[in-house]
Amino acid sequence: MSALEGKLVLVTGASRGIGHGISLELARQGATVAGTATSAEAAARLEAELQALCGRGLGLVVNVNDAAACTGLVESLQAKAGRIYGLVNNAGVTRDNLLLRMKDAEWDEIMQTNLRPVFVLARAVLRDMVKAREGRIVNITSVSGQMGNAGQSNYAAAKAGVEGFTRSLAREVGSRGVTVNCVAPGFIDTDMTRALPEAVREGLLSHVPLGRLGKVQEVAACVAFLLGTGAAYVTGSTLDVNGGLHMR
């Protein structure tokens, strides 16, 4: 029996890209996945895909910018499906600009989408986890938050913030059997990197020892590891999935 058999895991931003890959991998490993999308159509599509794959799973609608909606989502999921074992904070966006040109709105949107929901959702799931003396939180950060990236001061600040948040929370709740970790992807083949100009993509790849973009499945496998029994003694850590782009 897989370690994730019968466990309920909430994954944000599960409609596309890395979050979609994570949802399918966790479902394959036996978890009941509740994945979020920002539209009802995408949520229904995800739910149908999960059901076809394993006969379990939910597609839910949330905009993580809306703190009350995030809290409501957790409460309604708990009422419908029981205790949440795992939370994967994956939803994220970029609003790149050089700092001198960066608008307040571009800064604020990144903080509201990439940083604040990590706190809001962790707080919402934590009470049940602490009571059960069992739980896993995995936050998706980025190599940009570790190395910095010109044009991404907002995004890098938010992702570095999530890593600091992760380490602090890991210290708070370790004694209660809850682990909190990050997975930090490098450049992964998703809509986010497809939006980059070809020359920028090529330039980035020249710094990647493995010489290619990562696949969503390669990030998903690391998230599944951190949710599984093999990672029971791993907390406050960041697992880098970057093809060697950044070595610490």
Assess whether 85 carries a catalytic annotation: no
Residues 144 and 187 sit within 8 Å (Cβ to Cβ): no
User: Could you tell me which of 83, 86, 177 has the C-alpha nearest to residue 134?
Assistant: 177
What's the closest the beta carbon of residue 27 comes to ligand NAP, in angstroms? 16
Q: By CB under 6 A, is residue 204 in contact with ligand NAP?
A: no
**Residue from 60, 87, 88, 155 carrying the catalytic annotation:** 155
Return d(Cα 179, Cα 232) in angstroms, integer: 8
CA dist., res. 35 & res. 53, Å (int): 14
* Environment class of 3 (CB within 10 Å of its CB; exposed 0-12, middle 13-18, buried 19+): middle
Which one of residues 2, 3, 16, 53 is an interface residue with ligand NAP (CB under 6 A)?
16
| Site membership for ligand NAP, residue 34 (CB under 6 A) | no
Work out whether 64 is an interface residue with ligand NAP (CB under 6 A). yes
User: Under rule CB under 6 A, which residues in 177-196 are in contact with ligand NAP?
Assistant: 185, 187-188, 190-193
Evaluate whether 207 touches 243 at the Cβ level (below 8 Å).
Answer: no
> Exactly one of 3, 81, 93, 111 binds ligand NAP (CB under 6 A); which one?
93
Interacting residue ranges for ligand NAP, rule: CB under 6 A: 12-13, 15-19, 37-39, 42, 62-65, 90-93, 113, 140, 142, 185, 187-188, 190-193
Residues with a known catalytic role = 155
